[in-house]
């Protein structure tokens, strides 16, 4: 079966006074029906821009986006409206992504109203069903967002995204603003919904533990580019790219007997404005060499495991020696 | 056993608003030993920041009421010393690092000025001496001293947090209150900053109260832990006691709801429900509504502290026996 979403060489540049800002630079990937692609990276790596470009909240600069076998790189308005039914997005901040003047019921019903074709009574019934699906008690129907806590607000965001029965949802850090016990509730809810409705997710986050937990495939981004991409377990068991390794080692493990050896990165992320042609991680990489200044090619190390580092083979050898 | 630097006893704080009374801190006991790091863990609204602010007496005066309690620091009760004396302690013997480095710095003063300010006030240094010491502090936190005359907007988030830490440590405090110092930072930057803090703590022999919601950070950087829930400390002890012998159902729930990098699981086990509204706390145990083990007595009476092992103190009927 063809993948649900195919993205080829997607680029999104922004003009700034300092030059061209390469927010997303030559990113290709696919998302299968009912599966989850995790996109990880730190602030400024372009993961949010990537999600928004796919949703056409931002027009792509270059590249091809294919959804259900149809090219949607430059959709016309009616086409875009149709797409919105099938592709939805959940935003990071449940405090600012919901209209404060709409009651919870109105907010969830809004997509149904916009699509049209349903009677008022049907829409109200559907709204109640959606609230039930995402675990919001019906007594909140007439509450305003400010009366609710973060977890419940994020449930509104999920209910809205779900209302048109999409096949694909971009989840932009949906649990980052929540406390751990609430975060776990929301993650479980999203997994339940995926099982029930067969929705595919693109799960954008900076939290590696969350991404490991929820994803089938994982893509690690750095400064607008994909540095490594692999099935979730493969990525964690055989990490190849020096940046992915450092990122993994930086996560503090909540266990006092497993002190991870931290790989300390020097410095901070460099500027995405007119970046050099070579590997973008080079200025911070412990293993940088002359070849790294050349443009890097994505290579497939084992089936399905892609890495963009000219030295990954030698480095893999080095690890084993230690 | 090293001596206690700070001891909090039966602290109770309320916030009064027009509509209601919020019971933010409800009778907590805490202590920090000299040279050690205490991790204060808990979710939003558990009262962590209120506790830290009460130590420095910087709670909003109009709304916050300290009902009872004692905060012993170097033999004095901080709650009863004069404001004048308190001013000598703040930023000098006890310093605080705030959560958000983006707003903790004054945008219209150079970072150098902001570091030397505390030095001039507390150590009575001249402008020149203060500048020299401030430059040393900058180097110590890994910022080249030539950036002394730059403004906060010229620094990245991680760098700003380093500046905030430099301000906090400038007067070589006995106790540093770090309120979620790395929450706003990326993981690789968080690792840099935490490592630096751990090194400086060793070097300057400072005690730290690290407020965080990240149990991973606690496991890696703390000596002891206190778990806050709805304004109470439900469990406290050394990291070994908490991580290896979890006793309170809430702490247990916190661990179970964490997605783990080091394990393979299919489903998380979240704690059901939400933290109770601090304006309307349940009569019995504050965790009773969410607790999988709750019995009748949990809803009626508040459990008292039980000392399982020396130093491992838990607020729960279950551990008290008689299951």
Instruction: Write the CATH number for A230.
Output: 3.40.50.300
pLDDT at residue number B208: 95
Most confident of A67-81, A213-227, B262-276: A213-227
Kindly state whether B220 is in contact with chain A, defined as any CB-CB distance less than 8 angstroms.
yes
Mean pLDDT of B110-123: 93
Of residues A27 and B158, the one with the higher pLDDT is A27
Which tokens is A45 given?
Answer: 């790596």
Provide the shortest C-alpha distance from residue B95 to chain A (in Å): 25
Note whether residue B285 is domain-resident: yes
pLDDT tens digits, B97-107: 988 887 889 99
Does the pLDDT at position A261 exceed 80? no
Give the whole-angstrom CA distance, residue B303 versus residue A318: 55
Note whether residue A320 is domain-resident: no
How confident is the prediction for chain A on average, in pLDDT?
90
- List the alpha helices (DSSP H) in chain B: 48-56, 83-89, 101-104, 111-123, 127-140, 157-169, 187-204, 215-221, 239-244, 249-256, 296-300
pLDDT at residue number A321: 42
**Which CATH number does the domain housing residue B175 bear?**
3.40.50.300
- CB-CB neighbors (< 8 A) of B240 in chain A: 256
Give the whole-angstrom CA distance, residue B169 versus residue B92: 9
Which tokens is B159 given?
Answer: 């760098």
Kindly state whether A267 is in contact with chain B, defined as any CB-CB distance less than 8 angstroms.
no
Note whether residue B79 is domain-resident: yes
Does the pLDDT at position A36 exceed 50? yes
Instruction: Using alpha carbons, list the distances in angstroms from residue A31 to A218, B42, B323.
Output: 11, 37, 51
Distance of CA A289 to the CA centre of its chain: 31
Instruction: Using alpha carbons, list the distances in angstroms from residue A253 to A215, A304, B57, B222, B256.
Output: 19, 27, 34, 13, 14
Of residues B109 and A256, the one with the higher pLDDT is B109
Note whether residue B164 is domain-resident: no
Q: Which residue of B has its CA nearest to A209?
A: B261
Q: Which residue of A has its CA nearest to B273?
A: A182
β-bridge pairing B76-77 and B21-33: unpaired
Close Cβ partners of B313 (under 8 Å, ≥ 6 residues apart): B29, B233, B235, B236, B237, B305, B306, B307
How confident is the prediction for chain B on average, in pLDDT?
90
Mean pLDDT of A217-221: 96
Note whether residue B313 is domain-resident: yes
Q: What are phi and psi of A247, to 5 degrees?
A: -60, -45
Length of chain A: 322
Note whether residue A48 is domain-resident: yes
Note whether residue B147 is domain-resident: no
Note whether residue B14 is domain-resident: yes
pLDDT at residue number A307: 95
pLDDT at residue number B43: 86
Provide the shortest C-alpha distance from residue A34 to chain B (in Å): 16
Global ipTM: 0.81
Note whether residue A76 is domain-resident: yes
Mean pLDDT of A210-220: 93
Note whether residue B309 is domain-resident: yes
Does the pLDDT at position A75 exceed 50? yes
pLDDT at residue number A318: 64
Give the whole-angstrom CA distance, residue B301 versus residue B179: 32
- Number of structural domains found in chain B: 1
CA angle A264, A267, A268 (to 5 degrees): 110
Kindly state whether B291 is in contact with chain A, defined as any CB-CB distance less than 8 angstroms.
no
CA angle B319, B321, B323 (to 5 degrees): 100
Note whether residue A62 is domain-resident: yes
pLDDT at residue number B2: 57
Give the whole-angstrom CA distance, residue B323 versus residue B318: 6
Q: Tokens 């299919």, residue?
A: B266
Give the whole-angstrom CA distance, residue A239 versus residue A230: 9
- Number of structural domains found in chain A: 1
Kindly state whether B228 is in contact with chain A, defined as any CB-CB distance less than 8 angstroms.
no
- CB-CB neighbors (< 8 A) of B41 in chain A: none
β-bridge pairing A305-307 and A299-302: antiparallel
Identity of the residue in B156, B191, B256 whose CB atom sits nearest the CB atom of A268? B156
Q: Please tell me the pTM assigned to this model.
A: 0.86
- Is A193 in contact with A217 (CB distance < 8 Å)? no
> Residue B67's pLDDT band (boundaries 50, 70, 90)?
very high
pLDDT tens digits, B248-306: 999 999 999 988 888 777 788 889 888 888 888 999 999 999 999 999 999 999 999 99
Q: Which burial class, exposed, middle or buried, applies to A118 when counting CB atoms under 10 A from its CB (0-12, 13-18, 19+)?
A: middle
Note whether residue A295 is domain-resident: no
Note whether residue A321 is domain-resident: no
Length of chain B: 323
- Is B227 in contact with B41 (CB distance < 8 Å)? yes
C-beta atoms of A262 and B268 within 8 A: no
Task: Quote the domain boundaries for residue A239.
Answer: 5-243
Note whether residue A319 is domain-resident: no
Mean pLDDT of A48-57: 93
Identity of the residue in B43, B44, B219 whose CB atom sits nearest the CB atom of A255? B219
Kindly state whether B292 is in contact with chain A, defined as any CB-CB distance less than 8 angstroms.
no
Give the whole-angstrom CA distance, residue B13 versus residue B206: 27
B305-309 sheet: strands from edge to edge? B94-97, B175-179, B207-212, B37-41, B224-229, B232-238, B312-315, B305-309
Mean pLDDT of A27-55: 93
Of residues B102 and A200, the one with the higher pLDDT is A200
pLDDT at residue number A317: 63
Kindly state whether A181 is in contact with chain B, defined as any CB-CB distance less than 8 angstroms.
yes
C-beta atoms of B264 and A180 within 8 A: no
Note whether residue B299 is domain-resident: yes
CA angle B76, B78, B82 (to 5 degrees): 95
Mean pLDDT of A284-298: 90
Kindly state whether A272 is in contact with chain B, defined as any CB-CB distance less than 8 angstroms.
no
Does the pLDDT at position B17 exceed 90? no
Kindly state whether B267 is in contact with chain A, defined as any CB-CB distance less than 8 angstroms.
yes
DSSP strands (E only) in chain A = 5-16, 19-31, 36-40, 62-67, 70-71, 87-90, 168-172, 200-205, 217-222, 225-231, 299-302, 305-307
3 state DSSP class of B299? helix
Task: Quote the domain boundaries for residue B42.
Answer: 4-93+171-320
> Residue A22's pLDDT band (boundaries 50, 70, 90)?
very high
Distance of CA B231 to the CA centre of its chain: 13
pLDDT at residue number A92: 84
- List the alpha helices (DSSP H) in A30-179: 47-54, 77-86, 104-115, 120-133, 150-162
pLDDT at residue number B166: 92
pLDDT at residue number A320: 45
């Amino acid at each position: 079966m063809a993948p649900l979403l195919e993205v080829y060489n997607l680029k999104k540049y922004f003009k700034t006074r300092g030059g061209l800002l390469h927010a997303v630079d030559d990113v290709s990937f696919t998302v299968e029906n009912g599966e989850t692609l995790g996109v990880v990276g730190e602030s400024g790596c372009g993961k949010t821009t990537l999600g928004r470009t796919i949703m056409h909240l931002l027009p792509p600069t270059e590249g091809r986006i294919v959804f259900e076998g149809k090219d949607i790189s430059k959709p016309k308005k009616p086409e875009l409206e149709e797409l919105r039914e099938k592709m939805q997005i959940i935003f990071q901040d449940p405090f600012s992504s919901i209209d404060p003047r709409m009651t919870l019921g109105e907010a969830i019903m809004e997509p149904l109203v916009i699509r049209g074709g349903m009677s008022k009574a049907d829409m109200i019934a559907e709204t109640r069903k959606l609230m039930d699906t995402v675990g919001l008690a019906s007594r909140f129907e007439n509450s305003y967002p400010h009366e609710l806590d973060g977890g419940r607000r994020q449930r509104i965001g999920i209910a809205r995204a779900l209302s048109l029965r999409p096949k694909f949802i971009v989840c932009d850090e949906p649990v980052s603003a929540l406390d751990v016990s609430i975060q776990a509730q929301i993650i479980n809810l999203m997994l339940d919904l995926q099982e029930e409705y067969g929705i595919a997710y693109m799960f954008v986050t900076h939290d590696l533990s969350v991404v490991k937990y929820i994803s089938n495939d994982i893509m690690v981004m750095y400064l607008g580019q994909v540095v490594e991409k692999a099935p979730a377990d493969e990525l964690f068991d055989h990490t190849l790219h020096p940046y992915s390794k450092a990122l993994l080692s930086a996560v503090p493990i909540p266990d006092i007997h497993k002190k991870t050896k931290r790989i300390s990165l020097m410095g901070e992320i460099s500027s995405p404005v007119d970046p050099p042609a070579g590997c973008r991680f080079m200025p911070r990489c412990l293993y940088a060499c002359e070849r790294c200044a050349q443009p890097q090619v994505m290579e497939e190390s084992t089936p399905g495991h892609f890495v963009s580092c000219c030295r990954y083979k030698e480095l893999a050898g080095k690890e084993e020696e230690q | 056993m090293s001596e206690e630097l700070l001891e909090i006893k039966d602290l109770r704080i309320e916030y009064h608003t027009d509509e209601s009374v919020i019971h933010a801190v409800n009778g907590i006991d805490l202590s920090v030993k000299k040279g050690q790091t205490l991790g204060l863990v808990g979710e939003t609204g558990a009262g962590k920041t209120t506790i830290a602010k009460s130590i420095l007496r910087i709670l909003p005066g109009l709304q916050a009421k300290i009902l009872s309690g004692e905060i012993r620091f170097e033999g004095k009760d901080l709650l009863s010393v004069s404001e004048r004396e308190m001013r000598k302690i703040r930023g000098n013997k006890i310093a605080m690092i705030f959560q958000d480095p983006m707003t903790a710095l004054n945008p219209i003063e150079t970072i150098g000025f902001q570091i030397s300010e505390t030095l001039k006030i507390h150590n009575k240094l001249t402008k020149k001496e203060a500048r020299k010491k401030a430059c040393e502090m900058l180097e110590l936190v890994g910022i080249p001293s030539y950036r002394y005359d730059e403004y906060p907007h010229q620094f990245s988030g991680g760098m700003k947090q380093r500046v905030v830490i430099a301000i906090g440590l400038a007067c070589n405090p006995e106790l540093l209150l770090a309120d979620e110092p790395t929450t706003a930072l990326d993981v690789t930057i968080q690792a840099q900053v935490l490592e630096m803090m751990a090194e400086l703590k060793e070097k300057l022999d400072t005690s730290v109260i690290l407020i965080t919601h990240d149990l991973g950070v606690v496991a890696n950087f703390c000596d002891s832990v206190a778990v806050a829930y709805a304004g109470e400390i439900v469990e406290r002890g050394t990291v070994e006691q908490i991580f290896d012998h979890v006793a309170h159902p809430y702490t247990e729930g916190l661990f179970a709801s964490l997605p783990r990098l080091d394990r393979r699981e299919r489903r998380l086990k979240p704690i059901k429900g939400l933290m109770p509204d601090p304006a309307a706390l349940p009569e019995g145990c504050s965790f009773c509504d969410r607790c999988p083990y709750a019995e009748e007595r949990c809803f009626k009476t508040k459990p008292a502290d039980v000392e399982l092992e020396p130093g491992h103190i838990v607020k729960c009927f279950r551990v008290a026996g008689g299951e």
